[in-house]
Structure 1
Amino acid sequence: MDLEVDGSILKLVGDFDVRSTSTVRQALYAHLEAHTDTCEHDIVVDLSGVPSVDETALRVLAVATRAAERAGHRLVLRGCSPSVRRMLTVARFRHRVSVEPVAV
Structure 2
Amino acid sequence: MDIMADGTTLRLSGDLTGRSTAAIRGEVHRHLDRYGDRAVLDVADVTAVDATALRMLAAASCRAGRQVRLRGASAPIRRLLHLTRLHRFVRAESTPVGA
TM-score bracket, normalised by the shorter chain, equals 0.7 to 0.9
Q: Structure 1 residue 51: deviation in Å? A: 2.3
Gaps of 5+ in 1: none
State the match for 1:29 in structure 2: 29
Give secondary structure in 2 for the equivalent of 1:34: helix
| C-alpha contact (below 8 Å) 1:42/1:75 kept by paired residues | no
More strand by share: 2
| C-alpha contact (below 8 Å) 1:48/1:79 kept by paired residues | yes
RMSD (Å) for aligned C-alpha atoms: 1.7
Taking a change above 3 Å as real, the CA distance of residues 16 and 56 of structure 1, as seen in their structure-2 partners, is same
Q: How many residues are matched?
A: 97
Gaps of 5+ in 2: none
TM, length-normalised to structure 1: 0.82
| C-alpha contact (below 8 Å) 1:78/1:100 kept by paired residues | yes
What's the % identity of the aligned pairs?
38
Cα distance in 2 between the residues matched to 1:20 and 1:6 = 20
State the match for 1:7 in structure 2: 7
More helix by share: 2
Q: Determine which structure has more spread, i.e. the larger CA radius of gyration.
A: 1
